[in-house]
Amino acid sequence: MKIYFYDRHGPDLESPTDQPKTEALRSLFQDIATSSGHTTHWVPTDRRGNLSYPDEKDPYLLIVHPATGGIYQQRMLHDQLLAVDEHAHLLLVSSSPQSLARCDHERAYASPVSYDLIEGQQIIALADSIEAGAPDWQTVAPGGDPGTLIAYYLLRVTGHLDALADVERQALEQAALAQLKALRPDASLDDAGRHLGLDAPPRSPSPHSQDSPT
Amino acid sequence: MILLQSSAGCEKALSLRAKVSHTWLDHEVMMVPTELALLRWQRNGWLGVQDRWQALHRIALDLADHLDDFSAARLVVRLPALASLPATLRDAMTAQLDAMHRELMDTPAIRASYMTRLQALWNDSLHFFEMANRAYEDARADDFIARWQAVRDAASSLRAMFTSGEIPQGSLLP
């Protein structure tokens, strides 16, 4: 499967940079290129840094280290992320929590992750799982996507947990509990819903919302 | 409500949501104060914008058809942990979760409200572009400002459905 990289400092591996995070991404790119069956590509950009997204017909993994500095960059990021087609599985990487939060806002279903958490083997495992049709984002964003916990919750809330064999149910409970502990160390499965943020009452429509555009 | 990432079953709806709420309503309308709108008119800066808005309007209409995507039932086929369950069990879960979703989110009513507000915005937009696409006339500046303000009011009304959570930001879990 194809893995595309975008970095705000460009793909030129020989160009000097004082950005250690950029170096980390370049290193990641090379690790994957040399140690997996996946093909790696840099997303081309024009002279202003605008991305030209690949026109892929099959799922692909897009790893973006976004430019998020000034207003222009923010607007560009906004346009860039929304322009990604539906075949892209987008992984946003940044060392800045603010950048990650902004990315999450712009492209809600992206999976932002800190550089510090990424290793080449995790990316390869993620690409493998996407290729297999079931993306496992836990490999790169532990605790960021509690899919097993959600599955456990859905089984429980629909009353089907007991339909599982004991051994299956116990395995699921253990995995769900591990994900819950990653979110809330002191939580128990009995109130999984509350710790998934489900205790908040539905928000009522308000014409005077305080949300502001960014 | 929780926003899922990899396991979300509503990527399409979220993408449409972001384009309507953020690209159109925020960037194209709410971030353009009256003074800037007027300045654009003086500089013929509105020419071509209507085409872009027409595309955004189509996206907004598309979103109305994807409001059911926020049901947790869409997750059943997406969560790897449920993949090994018998099909009959997953079908039963899907049906139950869809029923729960209907209790949680009155999609027909929300869609109706959304379409009413969207139509109002579009009507006001067309009324605005009738003037904005013509050359600037100093004598009609007040009329222009009133038309732009009507667009902003309509956009604000529509935007409230996003900021309030009526149109969710992710899969809704019961």
Summarised one tens digit per residue, pLDDT across range A131-172 is 877 666 666 655 445 678 888 889 998 999 888 889 889 988
Higher pLDDT, A112 or B94: B94
B18 touches chain A (CB under 8 A): yes
* pLDDT for A115: 52
With CB atoms and an 8 Å threshold, state whether B12 touches A137.
no
Distance from CA of A137 to the nearest CA of B (A): 6
With CB atoms and an 8 Å threshold, state whether A75 touches B27.
yes
Query: Rounded to whole angstroms, how far apart are CA atoms A170 and A167?
Result: 5
Q: How sure is the predictor about B44, in pLDDT bands with cuts at 50, 70 and 90?
A: very high
Q: How sure is the predictor about A90, in pLDDT bands with cuts at 50, 70 and 90?
A: confident
Distance from CA of A158 to the nearest CA of B (A): 6
Distance from CA of B160 to the nearest CA of A (A): 5
With CB atoms and an 8 Å threshold, state whether A198 touches B2.
yes
Tell me the average pLDDT across A111-118. Answer: 52
Interior angle at CA A161, CA B84 and CA B97, nearest 5? 85
Length of chain A: 214
Which one, of A90, A30, A148, lies nearest residue B78 by Cα? Answer: A148
With CB atoms and an 8 Å threshold, state whether B23 touches A107.
no
Which chain B residues are closer than 8 Å to A141 by Cβ?
Answer: 5
Interior angle at CA B6, CA B108 and CA B55, nearest 5? 50
With CB atoms and an 8 Å threshold, state whether A78 touches B22.
yes
Nearest by CB to residue B170, choosing from A108, A153, A160, is A108
CB proximity under 8 Å: B 20-79 to A: 22-23, 25-27, 30-31, 72, 75-76, 79
Q: Which of A193-197, B15-19, B46-50 has the highest mean pLDDT?
A: B46-50
Contact B114, B158 (CB under 8 A): yes
The pLDDT tens digits of the residues spanning B121-174 come to 999 999 999 999 999 999 999 999 999 999 999 999 999 999 888 998 777 878
Q: For residue A157, which phi and psi values (nearest 5 degrees)?
A: -70, -25
User: Which residue does chain A place closest to B21, by CA atoms?
Assistant: A213
Nearest by CB to residue A82, choosing from B12, B23, B104, is B23
Higher pLDDT, B74 or B42: B42
* pLDDT for B128: 98
Which one, of B97, B149, B74, B64, lies nearest residue A160 by Cα? Answer: B97
Nearest by CB to residue B160, choosing from A157, A198, A205, is A205
With CB atoms and an 8 Å threshold, state whether A198 touches B173.
yes
With CB atoms and an 8 Å threshold, state whether A154 touches B79.
yes
Higher pLDDT, B17 or B64: B64
* pLDDT for A141: 55
Which chain A residues are closer than 8 Å to B29 by Cβ?
Answer: none
With CB atoms and an 8 Å threshold, state whether B93 touches A107.
no
Contact A176, A152 (CB under 8 A): yes
Query: Residue B42, Cβ neighbours under 10 Å: how many?
Result: 12
Distance from CA of B139 to the nearest CA of A (A): 33
- Classified as helix, coil or strand, A2 is strand
Which chain A residues are closer than 8 Å to B8 by Cβ?
Answer: 109
B98 touches chain A (CB under 8 A): no
* pLDDT for B5: 41
With CB atoms and an 8 Å threshold, state whether A78 touches B72.
no
Nearest by CB to residue B81, choosing from A148, A205, A207, is A148
